[in-house]
Structure 1
Amino acid sequence: MHRILSVSELAGSRDDPALLGVSWVGRDAPAGFGTTGLPFQHIVAAQLGRGGAGPAEAWFGALAGREGFAHDVHFRCDAHLLFGVITLAEGDCAGDAGATPLQRASQQAYESLFRVLAEEGYPHLWRVWNYLDDINGTTAGLERYRQFNIGRHQAFANADRLQGCTIPAASALGVAGGPLSIAFLAARAPCIPLENPRQLSAYRYPADYGPRSPTFSRAALARLPGQEWLFVSGTASIVGHLTVHHGDPAAQTREIVANLEALLAEASRVSTGPAYRLDALSGRAYVRHPEHLAAVQAELVRALGAEAPIVYVHADVCRADLLVELEAQACHLFV
């Protein structure tokens, strides 16, 4: 279902009827993508260690998919899965006395997403990838990530989706410029949200982190015919609800690995297959300062192995004191 493709492989897969959508990290989109055709999330950020751009991440269904566009959401779906992308410019979502443009944009995006899932018959949201400009900046007296959380939370509340069993795995990162961009994977079958015993559930954070808590689970376990998928949300150097190892990217990365190990143990406990292992993960590592890449990469290579398919991205993490974040996925195939 998930593959990392070179630019040439991506071009060769464009007409594959099972291709559901693509995520691309880079300042510019590859030729022929990003304007028409299949759902395409353009993450306007540099891939570190690859000259600014690199392979794409593609999501495939098991069967030929069909394409649709509704409520500003571009999507493709097959009999089991739906992959969608929505991109909104904050300037097109004017705020009012009680809401900033970003808050309105995030609420509108999620409300549109939920309308598509209801209309198309894929009610279960598994995984969401959120990207917004200047995530740690402050406007209207409130950090922009907190503004985003207010809008997202309101959309979940309006859709009656604030129960723990309906909250998906997710990540939210800051990029320099660009609109609010959200990609998501949904299904006809439910997933199993997972929490980390080393951390307080994000949706139960105290008010210190903003008027509304972040709305995501730490991971999600999802099953398809012959497959089981683990989606690990953006994971950072947080224990309980506190940032640890301030200013030390290597130590923060080691703490991420400890959190990953705890999540994999939780996933293995409820899995129907073999135990999940660190060296079976693929994903994205978000590094706030490019000069920290070597330290972060060394720790992840030590823990996950040199061959682990990790894409390193220059991006801001949701807290200003977090220097690195890792999101990942893994798959079990059953005969």
Structure 2
Amino acid sequence: MIGTCDTWSAEDAVDSGAEWSLRYTHDDDFLSISAFIPPSGRCAEAVRDVYAEIFALAGWSGYPDICRLWHYIGDINGDNADGLEVYRDFCVGRALAFEEFRPPFGMPAATGVGSSGEGITVCVLATRAGKLTAIENPDQVPAYRYPTRYGPKPPSFARAGYLERAEGDVLFLSGTASVTGHETAHRGDLHGQLDRTLANIRTVVGGPNLARHGVAGHFGLADFDRVKVYVRNAGDMAAVEAVCRTVFTGDPAVELVRADLCRSDLLVGIEGVIAVRGGLPKVLRRADQPDGASRAQAVSAP
């Protein structure tokens, strides 16, 4: 993955610090955490330990709901010292942490993509500002129920998260790709995968699916305020960008990143944020949206 930086802003002064292997920053409503796991022959144990620290910090600092996670994983589709794919090794550690500590918020929205650097960077956004609901896709098996053909432990995330806040609701779309059921669809076909990915997004954010989860609302591609697109092959960037700028018509911030994905046969993945009513929380606004922010934290991935 080419170097990237997410900047999260706050209107008022923020506090920062470090605890265990974690760095954090917070304002009144949101807590951001970042951690780096050094490269090693096996990562599951280290991932489990970092997740345990994340759950503990979010809990005792008063931000109990983890609404979004990002994972930037070096050599994501390579093999670890035991011949297990690095992403599957990572999923073992993450699943063990969820099984052992069972955090109250359930499965969060998340993205897991490759990094050009070594090791694993984890970035977290937690909140105490509202009610968080995990959203699944009826056309996909929940990732945490995948069969063992995808690894010893399944991935631990929801397809999206819906945060109800007095100031305005937010929908966090997880990294979404060309998967139906639990199978990769349209292997080797960029446009087929892109079409399937967009269809999955429409289903996840559409009214019938949200109603199944007790959430009122109906949204589409034109409602996204921020979109990030991960593309495996650099030669496909222009074609993917052309499609995305055509379908995401609500003038969102659309960012394209060259990155490997969690399956070696996936060519493109898309994540995003929808501000359901009112403005985006300042912590989520893009750089070109004026917000009067007085402080900002940037979390970088190698």
TM-score range, shorter chain: 0.7 to 0.9
2:85 is the alignment partner of 1:143: yes
2:218 is the alignment partner of 1:275: yes
| CA pair 306-166 structure 1, distance change in 2 beyond 3 A | closer
Cα RMSD after superposing both structures: 2.0
- Whichever residue aligns with residue 156 of structure 1, its letter is F
Alpha-carbon contact 1:71-1:112 (below 8 Å) kept:
yes
Give the corresponding residue for 2:236: 292
1:79 Cα deviation from its structure 2 partner: 2.2
Unpaired segments of 5 or more residues in structure 1?
A: 1-43, 47-52, 92-99
| CA pair 334-304 structure 1, distance change in 2 beyond 3 A | closer
Aligned length: 273
Give the corresponding residue for 2:25: 76
- TM-score computed with the length of structure 2 as normaliser: 0.84
Give the corresponding residue for 2:165: 224
2:195 is the alignment partner of 1:254: yes
Partner Cα separation in structure 1 for residue 277 and residue 251 of structure 2: 20
Partner Cα separation in structure 2 for residue 109 and residue 145 of structure 1: 16
Alpha-carbon contact 1:287-1:325 (below 8 Å) kept:
yes
Alpha-carbon contact 1:90-1:105 (below 8 Å) kept:
no
Partner Cα separation in structure 2 for residue 334 and residue 306 of structure 1: 15
2:118 is the alignment partner of 1:178: yes
Which runs of structure 2 are paired with 1:22-101 in the superposition (5 Å)? 45=2, 56-61=5-10, 63-91=12-40, 101=42
- Whichever residue aligns with residue 254 of structure 1, its letter is D
Partner Cα separation in structure 1 for residue 246 and residue 26 of structure 2: 38
| CA pair 190-68 structure 1, distance change in 2 beyond 3 A | farther
1:228 Cα deviation from its structure 2 partner: 0.5
- Whichever residue aligns with residue 66 of structure 1, its letter is D
Q: Secondary structure at the match of 1:227?
A: coil
Alpha-carbon contact 2:37-2:46 (below 8 Å) kept:
yes
Alpha-carbon contact 2:39-2:118 (below 8 Å) kept:
no
Give the corresponding residue for 1:21: none
Give the corresponding residue for 2:254: 310
Task: State percent identity of aligned pairs.
Answer: 32
1:236 Cα deviation from its structure 2 partner: 0.2
Give the corresponding residue for 2:100: 158
The list of structure 1 runs, each at least 4 consecutive aligned residues, that deviate by more than 4 angstroms after superposition, is none
Which runs of structure 2 are paired with 1:310-329 in the superposition (5 Å)? 310-329=254-273
Partner Cα separation in structure 2 for residue 254 and residue 305 of structure 1: 16
| CA pair 250-308 structure 1, distance change in 2 beyond 3 A | farther
1:146 Cα deviation from its structure 2 partner: 0.4
Post-superposition CA distance 1:158-204 (Å, at most 9, x none): 1123x8x6110001001122331011111124410000111110001
- TM-score computed with the length of structure 1 as normaliser: 0.76
Unpaired segments of 5 or more residues in structure 2?
A: 280-302
Q: 1:237 aligns with which of 153, 178, 181?
A: 178
Q: Which has the higher contact order (CA 8 A, sep 6+)?
A: 2
Q: 1:122 aligns with which of 63, 73, 78?
A: 63
Alpha-carbon contact 1:90-1:180 (below 8 Å) kept:
yes
Partner Cα separation in structure 2 for residue 190 and residue 89 of structure 1: 34
1:298 Cα deviation from its structure 2 partner: 2.3
